[in-house]
């Protein structure tokens, strides 16, 4: 599994961010992109923010500007990009939530976006993980531009996929403050032989960031009132219950049984061609595809189970934590492939 921050490092960064970030509800009529690619917010005070990549993507999507053309203007003609964005801001004004951190506009979201922030989430779930007792171990945490991850295993809950190949149950808790996904609690299968992690995305539980409209006329920093705080407390109590129920023996056994079945689904064709077909289906780049083939051959297990382990092992080689986590989820995609799709991969010549 891809390593990340220590728990102490995560806690310190979450605390720092919670004291620095600011949110605004503002009409696009008071927003203006500059020729240098910054965003100016006019209101009670004039404020200017560098625009993060995620926010650029969201602005392009909201204004229906094709992503490739938006990026081309951003790279080659920033003044043209500003004219386009500002023109649509004025022609079709609407109220949006602008999320900022460290002088950056990090998200451009619906005014109904419900702020389920990482600090509050960690404050809710870490005590629950502690109370769940010995054997529960946080193995990896990270804060990327898009998401927070907390990956946990339960060393007391383990089964064999095959003789000597032991896996442990766990969970991945993830959240995005910038609209790049829901709050999720997903089962994690942790393989002891090579410390691979497979996220069973088909069994995930989600909470979406949708809330009430802000009051009319707001175009200033958004402060939480007691009603919102009470609503959040109730919400995070439900999240705590979800975390307590996440490491479930029945669910774990079901996933492991599916992994056992995968050991019998042999690759009977050319492994190189099998990986090529999988690469095309799953959208891997050349480096990722080469890594999967290498680990498949080195693992010596030419089966669906060997393929999923090759994918999750390759995730450890990637620098980007977000992409590594995506490959950890892809391991479970192998288990979910229709029989006809797996047969095509397994028999590739």
Residue 221 has pLDDT above 60, yes or no: no
| Residue 278 falls inside a structural domain | yes
| Residue 282 falls inside a structural domain | yes
| Residue 249 falls inside a structural domain | no
Q: Mean pLDDT, to the nearest integer, of 59-85?
A: 97
Q: Mean pLDDT, to the nearest integer, of 306-312?
A: 96
95 confidence band (pLDDT: 50, 70, 90): very high
Q: Mean pLDDT, to the nearest integer, of 158-162?
A: 94
Q: Kind and range of the H or E element at 157?
A: strand 148-162
Q: How far apart are CA 11 and CA 25, in angstroms?
A: 28
Q: How far apart are CA 15 and CA 55, in angstroms?
A: 23
| Residue 296 falls inside a structural domain | yes
Residue 216's SS3 state is coil
pLDDT tens, 97-141? 999 999 999 999 999 888 888 999 999 999 999 888 788 899 999
Residue 219 has pLDDT above 90, yes or no: no
**pTM reported for the whole predicted model:** 0.87
Q: How far apart are CA 193 and CA 167, in angstroms?
A: 8
pLDDT tens, 229-269? 677 778 888 888 888 887 788 889 999 999 999 999 999 99
Higher pLDDT, 91 or 248: 91
Instruction: Please give the DSSP secondary-structure letter assigned to residue 238.
Output: H
Residue 207 has pLDDT above 90, yes or no: no
| Residue 241 falls inside a structural domain | no
* Domain count along the chain: 1
| Residue 336 falls inside a structural domain | yes
Q: Could you give the maximum distance between any two Cα atoms of the chain, in Å?
A: 68
| Residue 42 falls inside a structural domain | no
Partners of residue 221 on adjacent β-strands: 24
pLDDT tens, 113-124? 888 889 999 999
- Domain with 334 in it: 263-346
153 confidence band (pLDDT: 50, 70, 90): very high
State the first-to-last Cα distance of the chain, in angstroms, to the nearest integer.
32
Q: How far apart are CA 211 and CA 199, in angstroms?
A: 28
**Percent of the chain with pLDDT strictly greater than 90:** 74
| Residue 33 falls inside a structural domain | no
């Amino acid at each position: 599994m891809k390593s990340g921050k220590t728990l102490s490092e995560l806690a310190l960064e979450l605390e720092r961010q919670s004291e620095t970030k600011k949110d605004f509800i503002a009409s696009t009529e008071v927003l203006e992109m500059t020729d240098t690619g910054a965003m100016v917010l006019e209101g009670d005070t004039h404020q200017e923010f560098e625009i993060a990549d995620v926010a650029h993507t969201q602005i392009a999507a909201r204004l229906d500007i094709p992503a490739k053309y938006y990026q081309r203007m951003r790279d080659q003609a920033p003044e043209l990009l500003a004219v386009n964005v500002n023109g649509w801001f004025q022609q079709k004004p609407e109220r949006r939530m602008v999320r900022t951190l460290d002088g950056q506009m990090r998200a451009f979201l619906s005014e109904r976006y419900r702020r389920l922030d990482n600090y509050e989430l960690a404050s809710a779930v870490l005590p629950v993980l502690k109370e769940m007792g010995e054997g529960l171990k946080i193995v990896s945490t990270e804060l990327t531009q898009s998401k927070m991850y907390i990956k946990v295993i339960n060393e007391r809950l383990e089964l064999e996929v095959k003789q000597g190949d032991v896996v442990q149950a766990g969970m991945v808790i993830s959240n995005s403050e910038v609209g790049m996904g829901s709050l999720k609690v997903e089962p994690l299968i942790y393989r002891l032989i090579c410390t691979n992690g497979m996220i069973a995305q088909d069994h995930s539980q989600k909470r979406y960031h949708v809330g009430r409209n802000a009051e009319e006329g707001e175009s200033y920093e958004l402060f939480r009132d007691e009603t919102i705080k009470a609503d959040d407390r109730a919400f995070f109590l439900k999240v705590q219950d979800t975390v307590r129920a996440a490491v479930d023996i029945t669910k774990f056994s079901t996933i492991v049984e599916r992994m056992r079945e995968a050991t019998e689904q042999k690759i009977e064709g050319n492994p190189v061609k099998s990986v090529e077909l999988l690469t095309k289906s799953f959208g891997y780049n050349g480096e990722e595809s080469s890594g999967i083939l290498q680990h498949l051959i080195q693992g010596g297990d030419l089966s669906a189970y060997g393929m999923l382990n090759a994918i999750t092992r390759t995730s450890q080689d990637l620098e980007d934590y977000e992409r590594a986590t995506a490959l950890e989820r892809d391991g479970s995609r192998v288990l979910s492939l229709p029989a006809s799709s797996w047969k095509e991969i397994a028999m590739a010549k």
